[in-house]
Amino acid sequence: MKRIGTVVLAVASLAVASSALADQLEDMMKKYGCNACHSEDKKIIGPAYKEVAAKYKGDAGAVAKLTEKVKKGGSGVWGQVPMPPNPQVPDADVKKMVEMILALKK
């Protein structure tokens, strides 16, 4: 019985961590204006973060690839609407946001 309690606590801890991660991601996205085109679970102008996470799941180069895409902008991956470059966002924050997005589950 003790083992089951430990598992329940571990699952509860993961849920709290996921919630805190989602809150932190949302705060950063608001700070840098990303939420004007993106949301966690639905397409606005750009793809939902969960769609991005699903598309790049298992891609070892995804963090570097997406960090560069956020900084330099681009088009063609999710349609013809271009993503504008975001050179004003500090590299460390872009990387952290990308890592958080890739950690989301669909």
Say what the pTM is. 0.79
E-only strand ranges, the chain? none
Residue by residue, pLDDT tens for the chain (106 residues) are 444 444 444 444 445 456 777 788 889 999 999 999 999 899 999 999 999 999 999 999 999 999 999 999 999 889 889 999 999 999 999 999 999 999 987 6
Instruction: Tell the CATH superfamily of the 2-102 domain.
Output: Cytochrome c-like domain (1.10.760.10)
Instruction: Give residue limits of the domains in the chain.
Output: 2-102
